[in-house]
Amino acid sequence: MHRGRKKIENPESAQRILAAAERVFAERGLAGARTEEIARAARVNKAMLYYYFESKEQLHHAVLANLFGHANRMVQEQMPPNASAREIILAFVDGYFKFRMAYPNYARLMQQLMMESPDEFRRIARQYFRQGYKELTSAIEAGISRGEFHSVNAEHMVLNIIAMIVFYFSGAPAHSVLLGQDALKPSAVAEHQRAVIDLLEHGLFRSSGRPE
pLDDT at 8: 40
What is the CATH classification number for the domain harbouring 124? 1.10.357.10
| Among 30, 54, 78, residue at a domain's last position | 54
Tell me, what's the pLDDT at 4?
41
Domain end (from 17, 35, 54): 54
53-82 b/e (C-beta count within 10 Å ≥ 16 → b): beebeebbbbbbebbbeebeebbeebeeee
End-to-end CA distance of the chain: 63
Domain termination residue (choose one: 54, 73, 90): 54
Does residue 130 share a domain with residue 175?
yes
pLDDT given for residue 99 in this prediction: 97
At 134 the pLDDT is 97
72 and 42 in a single domain? The answer is no
Q: Residue 205 — φ and ψ, nearest 5°?
A: -75, 130
Overall domain count for the chain: 2
pTM (2 decimals)?
0.87
209 inside domain: no
Question: What pLDDT does residue 126 have?
Answer: 93
Q: Are residues 18 and 88 in the same domain?
A: no
Q: What is the pLDDT along the chain (212 residues), one digit of tens a residue?
A: 344 434 445 678 899 999 999 999 999 999 999 999 999 999 999 999 999 999 999 999 999 999 999 999 999 999 999 999 999 999 999 999 999 999 999 999 999 999 988 999 999 999 999 999 999 999 999 999 999 999 999 999 999 999 999 999 999 999 999 999 999 999 999 999 999 999 999 999 997 444 33
- Tell whether 26 and 67 lie within a shared domain: no
Answer yes or no: do 45 and 61 share one domain.
Answer: no
Chain centroid, CA 14 distance in Å: 21
Contact yes or no for 172/101 (Cβ under 8 A): no
Sign of CA dihedral 81, 86, 89, 91: negative
Q: How much is the pLDDT for 97?
A: 98
pLDDT of 10 reads 63
The values of phi and psi at residue 8, to 5°, are -70, -35
Residues 68 and 3 occupy one common structural domain:
no
211 in a domain, yes or no?
no
Domain membership of residue 30 as a residue range? 1-54
Judge if 47 and 81 occupy the same domain: no
